[in-house]
Amino acid sequence: MGTTEDGDVPKIVATVIYKMPVLALRVGVQYLSMRTHARRASRDFRRSMVSEGMPEDLAKRLSDEYAMDLSLGTLMKGFAKDS
C-alpha cells in the first residue's frame, strides 16, 4: 500500500464516518428488496408445487425453508467470505 501522511488520516476518518450511514442504508434497502423477491418466489414456488399435485403441507414446508434461507446475518457472512 502507499504511504499516508499524518495530515491525511483525519480526512480519511472523516470520509469513512460520512459514508457509513449511506452504505448502511443502501445495504438495508438491498436486503429488503432481496427479501421481498424471495417471499414472492417462495409463494410462486409453493403454488406451482401444489398445482402439480404435491401435498399442501409439504409444499408449504419446502417453500418456507426457501424463504428463510435469506437472512441479514447470512448475507453479511457471505460478504465476509468474498473479501
Q: Is residue 1 part of a domain?
A: no
Q: Is residue 72 part of a domain?
A: yes
Cell numbers of 41, please?
418466489
Instruction: Quote the CA–CA distance of 55 and 34 in Å, as a whole number.
Output: 28
Could you give the number of structural domains in the chain?
A: 1
Average pLDDT over the chain reads: 81
Q: Is residue 20 part of a domain?
A: no
Cell numbers of 47, please?
403454488
Query: Does position 6 have pLDDT exceeding 80, yes or no?
Result: no
Query: Does position 2 have pLDDT exceeding 60, yes or no?
Result: no
Q: Is residue 4 part of a domain?
A: no
Q: Is residue 39 part of a domain?
A: yes
The pLDDT of residue 50 is 95
> pLDDT (tens digit, 9 = 90+) per residue, 7-27?
788 888 888 888 788 888 888
Q: Is residue 43 part of a domain?
A: yes
The pLDDT of residue 9 is 83
Query: Does position 83 have pLDDT exceeding 60, yes or no?
Result: no
Cell numbers of 25, please?
442504508
Nearest one of 21, 18, 17, 41 to 29, comparing CA atoms: 21
> pLDDT (tens digit, 9 = 90+) per residue, 38-75?
889 989 999 999 999 999 999 999 888 877 767 767 66
Q: Is residue 13 part of a domain?
A: no
Range of 44's domain? 31-76
